[in-house]
Amino acid sequence: MSDQLNTIDFSVFQQLDVRVGRITAVEIAEGCRVAAYKLELDFGPEIGTRRSVAQATNYPPEVLVGRQVLAVVNFKPRQIGKHTSEVLVLGVPTKERGTALVVPEMEAVLGGKLF
């Protein structure tokens, strides 16, 4: 293991609540320092609808609507520009296209928890 990694106890990871949500609406997030979308996500009946600001503008909005993604749902809301982000949609950098969203490989239960 590299000495550069900041290792944590597994119990810290277990505190994150990562769930499956479906993007139901996408708008351009005006007034952000970096180009971003305002997303509305449905996490099913237990969690309901939440909003996020995500740097996923390499995806056309019409491709995002209906897509399932993974998001951290138990962070405190965060102000991003003029907008409040209630959940953190997970993504990773790509070599060519910006951000790749973290998505389930197949259709998953809305609100399903990462384990």
Helix (H, G, I), strand (E, B) or coil at 41: strand
Number of independent structural domains in the chain: 1
Residue 111 pLDDT exceeds 70: yes
For the stretch 37-83, pLDDT in tens is 999 999 999 999 999 999 999 999 999 999 999 999 999 999 998 99
Residue 46's domain is classified under what CATH number?
A: 2.40.50.140
Task: Answer positive or negative: Cα dihedral of 79, 81, 86, 91.
Answer: negative
Residue 3 pLDDT exceeds 70: no
Query: What is the residue-averaged pLDDT of the chain?
Result: 94
**pTM passes above 0.75:** yes
Q: What is the DSSP letter of 35?
A: -
Determine how many CB atoms are found less than 10 A away from the CB of residue 29: 22
Q: What is the pLDDT of residue 63?
A: 96
Residue 20 within a domain: yes
Residue 11 within a domain: no
**What is each CA distance from 60 to 26, 45, 65, 77, in whole angstroms?**
9, 28, 9, 25
With CA atoms as reference, report the closest residue to 52 among 70, 63, 44.
70
Q: What is the pLDDT of residue 2?
A: 56
